[in-house]
Amino acid sequence: MLIAFGGLPGSGKSTVAQALARRIGAVYLRVDTVEQAIRTSAPLAEGRDVGPSGYVTLYRLAADNLRLGQTVVADSVNPLPETRKAFRDVADECGRRFFGVEIVCSDAAVHRHRAETRSPSVVGLSPPSWEVIQNRHYEPWKADLRIDTARLSVEDSVAEIMRSMG
């Protein structure tokens, strides 16, 4: 199965995705890690981002692991219908089930506090500021499940995901 997470930075997405991966023994793939590795190994011209390279790499790594029979948890902002469809296509290509999880934090004060106080979890990558998060382009998603981390603990979020996956 491919479990694709999406949601704004600071919403609790990576925390929940990692906890789920640990609980079910899944392969955990994070786009931030892939993108930072690309930046580190091939310095980009000033002001340039890695573009779609991180996501494309994540799709291929997910496919490799799905073909090995592994459950994959993919952790990314996943902001566009195109990125979400690409994850679904990877699952289809590998003959595996797809499950989309959107993580939100409905309490803006809690979300902001998390964003402003969290420590970097990817070596060399600074978390985005609250202003950057607020201005990030993120299109609505009709995910299989929407989790509000302002209302559910990490443990309860994982339990709800597992219950919803069946």
Q: Where residue 48 falls among pLDDT bands split at 50, 70, 90?
A: low
Pick the CATH number of 2-165 from 3.40.50.300, 2.60.40.10, 3.30.70.1140, 3.30.429.10: 3.40.50.300
The domain ranges of the chain are: 2-165
Using one digit for the tens of pLDDT, what is the confidence trace for 2-44? 999 999 999 999 999 999 999 999 999 999 999 988 888 876 5
pTM of the model: 0.93
Indicate the Cα dihedral angle 81, 85, 86, 92, nearest 10°.
170
Residues 91-101: tens digit of each pLDDT: 999 999 999 99
Check if the beta carbon of residue 35 is closer than 8 Å to that of residue 50: yes
Looking at residue 76, its pLDDT comes to 96
